[in-house]
A and B are shown apart, each in its own frame.
Chain A
Amino acid sequence: GAGVSQSPRYKVAKRGQDVALRCDPISGHVSLFWYQQALGQGPEFLTYFQNEAQLDKSGLPSDRFFAERPEGSVSTLKIQRTQQEDSAVYLCASSPTDGGSYEQYFGPGTRLTVT
């Protein structure tokens, strides 16, 4: 079966532009996570959905970051008024059960470059 997919794979934005990053999790997976990975660092948690409910958004760095998963499947991470420090790889992961007690399946990521 298909794994987690993300689009676009690469995005270049001018500072101040808004961007939207899409994640298609594995079908039927309850949990969906967004992470930000800076070069040479580990993934940093941004937010977590259980079905359509956003249960934890404590990792979102500012109110410019917004995530949604309206029907409990596809998710979108939106970044408004992008800044250079937003440049990173944004990883989406899904898991068949709730929470962090099961393996997570990662997508290939979206590499965002803000110029």
Chain B
Amino acid sequence: GQQVMQIPQYQHVQEGEDFTTYCNSSTTLSNIQWYKQRPGGHPVFLIQLVKSGEVKKQKRLTFQFGEAKKNSSLHITATQTTDVGTYFCAGNGGAQKLVFGQGTRLTINP
């Protein structure tokens, strides 16, 4: 079945440094979503990418969808303490369900 791998599993940065997490699917995706989960919280939707090669920006966050629609990345510029949490990608292979990666847990040294 469809698998979604995410790396790294953990990332610790100094406040102000950049952060990137990568997501790879075993199959071609119709779309990919990104969610953020704060410690003790629940996943909160960030964005959806649909088109091959798509790039979307939200303030300091940049999301990319690969040309083959099998990989994606999230880049945060100049991290702030409010960015702390676990970032999940979730792939939709065309069926009804999302397959989540295992997440990248971001911690920040202020």
Contacts and interface: CB of A to CB of B under 8 A. Distances in A.
A56 interface: yes
B98 A91 contact: no
Interface string B73-107: 00000000000000010101001111111110000
B45 A99 contact: no
B68 interface: no
B43 A91 contact: yes
A91 B92 CA distance: 18
Contacts of A93: 43
Contacts of A35: 100
Contacts of B20: none
Given A41-B102, A42-B103, A103 B42 contact: no
A102 B88 CA distance: 16
A50 B95 CA distance: 13
Interface residues of B, number: 23
A101 B31 contact: yes
Contact of A48 (B33, B96, B100): B96
A11 B71 CA distance: 37
18 contacts: A33-B97, A35-B100, A42-B88, A43-B43, A43-B90, A44-B100, A55-B96, A91-B43, A100-B31, A100-B92, A100-B95, A100-B96, A100-B97, A100-B98, A101-B48, A103-B48, A104-B43, A106-B42
